[in-house]
Structure 1
Amino acid sequence: MTFVQLIEYETTRDEEMTGLWDEWLRATEGKRTLSREMHGKDRDRPTHYVDIVEFPSYEEAMRNSELPETRSISERIRGLCEEDPRFVNLEVVAERP
Structure 2
Amino acid sequence: MSHGSPSRGLRLSALGVILFLNVPILVVALYAFTTEDSSFRFPPPGLTLDWFRVAAQNNDIREALVLSLGVAAVATAIALVLGTMAAVALWRTRFFGRQALS
Q: Same fold (TM over 0.5)?
A: no
Counting strand residues as a fraction of each chain, which structure ranks higher?
Answer: 1
Larger CA Rg, structure 1 vs 2: 2
Counting helix residues as a fraction of each chain, which structure ranks higher?
Answer: 2
TM-score scaled by length of structure 2: 0.26
By relative contact order (CA 8 Å, sep 6+), the higher-ranking structure is: 1
